[in-house]
Structure 1
């Protein structure tokens, strides 16, 4: 009996053996081939971590729309499902680290009949109960652990991909909101221009009747009215397209407040820029982190491929009871056990295993390049946004002064035409300059808001403040 217990103990000890050698290369984070600091605006406050989106987007209606999009957007639902798939695949891989156990049992009764069909023997009972471990691999070369590591890193990369998708969705909703607001202001400008040009046309017709203006002046005034009407119609169509795009991104019907709430003033977006930003901040961007997760997974896959060159040893064993006497079923006399290892030893595969290693090593090199490219892309996007940030306020101030001057010039030109000092051509020139200045000011406000959104996206962003 002591010998039997010893054998069972040896079986349990064998099942607890863990891997001894990890054939995966030692992971080292690749060098980020970018400057230590990102060129940035000279003023601002330091940003210790990416700002939450509800701290960047100031409009209550815009924030409400973003929340709806985060609930309803179909692309985001796909990425969430991808996380569940990756999590399940990781759990499957992780289960390989543990023994696969099973329980089986049966109970039978039987007897023997004579030739006449009469029962000539009493029924005999038999029972069998077994607890077993099947196919537990001794992970001497960390094949299973590297497989598990690769699945885990792929899962984490999927999580980062979902975070990147959320940031992209938030930025897309904000960008479409800003474009909708821009087109509404441009439509209002065009409609205002129609009214101004119509008044000028009426004045020109009166002056023509009085012999002060010419037929050419009247035709020019009429052409200006129709040109303004055409531009207004163009912006009306663009607004409908903006709403269609916003509806698609949000994933459901737009709330009623959208019809009149989108505006550029006050600015719906505000992002304070630090005096200097360390490039280390970019390493927290979800696309960069996902690229690194994929790199670590590729590293583990090399170890997985290398382990295939070596023998694979698996253990199977069972312990249980069998008896024809149910009353003495659990006695030591009817206990039994089985144990047997299996060996898978590669011999000839015509270079298949070596080529699999070459494939995984090349894939690891690809992952390194993708990781470094992700960092370089993040650096450029951030630097580009900061370059605009440095000059956008100067541009806005200049355009505000230009718009004021153009408005004064237009009023003077109209008055000079009214008293007969200038012809209508000078009025047309003043109207074009005024319209252009006002339009440029609207577009500059749009660019300022879009650039703040681009900077929010480039810095990697963060969850909403409520979820931090």
Structure 2
């Protein structure tokens, strides 16, 4: 290091604080989003009018008052949100810590020393009191300001990550709540099937004992009953697991009065978000916002690395009092003032500093690619959800028609068996088909609700204001 120290008794340190800094960081230029301007269209997509994406809070999408209360509880108590909030607080504090390097560090010291000289023990005393700027680096090339900017952008990326967590919690609570409703329906379906199977076993046993039906008919009826009883136990387990998941997401026990009794209670309470929106709406997604701030932070890091190629200049300025007698410490003759400046520049570092610049530029390129990938991923997720939405109505209609036809078939097959026209096997197959069709109908109704929850999450337009 080559350093030159300049000491001038009358130098005013506050003048140095006013020196303006230039920045060597490149300007952040966001590329055009690497996705089409609109969502895909075709048979799998519903064509709707183009519109700007509005701010859509969860209360507008999840319109059931009970669900809104559960989501609000989760946003207040969920531990993942608390962890994210703590990380955000740490990121904001780190910004203040980095920014403090841009300002002078002012301190004060007081000392009293005594010295004995010679064999006769002559005693001398020295008292001093001084304060001022011990060291202040003049940010002529923007090293400190860019470091602050980089840390600020990372804190903003962390803030966006908090909103990502909140979006995920709201969506997961809604999905778990709707799944609980579907499992209630499946439990009721299994119980109804078990009741019908029990009646069938009783009648078939009577026919068997009367010599009208073979033993195989009774065994097959007992199989249906056993299957339904197994499904009842499985659905009770599923309901308990649904409650456990909701308890975890909410961070507390959930009032049973806030839970739905079945899908029929919540049908229509989940709003459908419009399709056909401009893909520019994805720029509002918190993960895309976080990627943008990471890109800005990487640009600022380049400015820090470039500034290290230039000399660093530090200033010092101290004023104080010094006297050999404590009583004279505050007299005019005890006043002392010192000011200085240091300039340092590394002449040879084997290309280390230029390598740091190359590293920061490569990291900027990676951040740029990550930003573009975040937009592309968001586009794919929304497009997939819209593709599902575009065909759900037809699939739900088909499942309902299938369940209706299966119920008719089961009724007719049972009548034919009772009248001796058809075998019990025909009735057995019809009952199994009906049960399967009814479960499929419940699953499709749940899928329709979960698709709306997914669209809410992947569009990411809830600002939680």
Report the Cα distance in structure 1 between the residues aligned to 2:16 and 2:305, rounded to whole angstroms.
25
Report the Cα distance in structure 2 between the residues aligned to 1:60 and 1:45, rounded to whole angstroms.
30
Aligned to 2:294: 294
Q: TM-score, normalised by structure 2?
A: 0.89
**C-alpha displacement of 1:169:** 1.1
Alignment of 1:36-55 (within 5 A): 36-39=37-40, 41-43=46-48, 46=51, 48-55=53-60
SS at match of 2:263: coil
* Residue in structure 1 matching 2:86, options 67, 78, 81: 81
Question: 1:188 and 1:143, CA in 2 relative to 1: closer, same or farther beyond 3 A?
Answer: same
SS at match of 2:309: coil
Question: 1:170 and 1:262, CA in 2 relative to 1: closer, same or farther beyond 3 A?
Answer: farther
Question: 1:446 and 1:91, CA in 2 relative to 1: closer, same or farther beyond 3 A?
Answer: same
Aligned to 2:36: 35
Report the Cα distance in structure 1 between the residues aligned to 2:110 and 2:338, rounded to whole angstroms.
15
Could you list the runs of 5+ residues in structure 1 that have no partner in the other structure? 1-5
- 2:323–2:329 contact (8 Å) kept in structure 1: yes
Deviations 1:404-454 (A, max 9, x none): 222222222212221212111221122122112211110011101111111
Aligned to 1:134: 134
**C-alpha displacement of 1:134:** 2.1
Aligned to 2:197: 197
Deviations 1:267-316 (A, max 9, x none): 37523332521111111111110011111111111111121111111101
Report the Cα distance in structure 2 between the residues aligned to 1:269 and 1:352, rounded to whole angstroms.
61
- 2:55–2:463 contact (8 Å) kept in structure 1: no
Aligned to 1:102: 107
Aligned to 2:262: 263
Report the Cα distance in structure 2 between the residues aligned to 1:395 and 1:156, rounded to whole angstroms.
43
* Residue in structure 1 matching 2:68, options 63, 80, 94: 63
> Could you tell which deviates more after superposition, 101-110 or 208-217?
101-110
Deviations 1:12-35 (A, max 9, x none): 322321213x22122111231100
SS at match of 1:261: coil
Report the Cα distance in structure 1 between the residues aligned to 2:332 and 2:386, rounded to whole angstroms.
80
Aligned to 1:17: 19
Aligned to 2:417: 417
- 1:197–1:224 contact (8 Å) kept in structure 2: yes
Alignment of 1:383-398 (within 5 A): 383-398=383-398
Report the Cα distance in structure 1 between the residues aligned to 2:49 and 2:16, rounded to whole angstroms.
64
**C-alpha displacement of 1:334:** 4.3
Two-structure CA RMSD over aligned residues (Å): 2.8
> Could you tell which deviates more after superposition, 449-458 or 228-237?
228-237
- 1:167–1:461 contact (8 Å) kept in structure 2: no
Aligned to 1:158: 158
Aligned to 2:3: none
Deviations 1:131-180 (A, max 9, x none): 31122111111000111011100110111111111111111112222222
**C-alpha displacement of 1:75:** 1.6
Report the Cα distance in structure 1 between the residues aligned to 2:101 and 2:110, rounded to whole angstroms.
25
Report the Cα distance in structure 1 between the residues aligned to 2:186 and 2:37, rounded to whole angstroms.
42
Deviations 1:362-385 (A, max 9, x none): 211211111111111110111111
Report the Cα distance in structure 1 between the residues aligned to 2:213 and 2:101, rounded to whole angstroms.
93
**C-alpha displacement of 1:130:** 2.9
> Could you tell which deviates more after superposition, 140-149 or 399-408?
399-408
> Could you tell which deviates more after superposition, 286-295 or 131-140?
131-140
Aligned to 2:184: 184
Aligned to 1:3: none
Deviations 1:192-227 (A, max 9, x none): 111111112222223334444322222211111112
- 1:288–1:375 contact (8 Å) kept in structure 2: yes
Report the Cα distance in structure 1 between the residues aligned to 2:450 and 2:363, rounded to whole angstroms.
37
Aligned to 2:369: 369
**C-alpha displacement of 1:332:** 5.4
Question: 1:380 and 1:240, CA in 2 relative to 1: closer, same or farther beyond 3 A?
Answer: same
Report the count of equivalent residues.
Answer: 452
- 2:58–2:462 contact (8 Å) kept in structure 1: yes
> Could you tell which deviates more after superposition, 326-335 or 233-242?
326-335
Q: TM-score, normalised by structure 1?
A: 0.88
SS at match of 2:102: coil
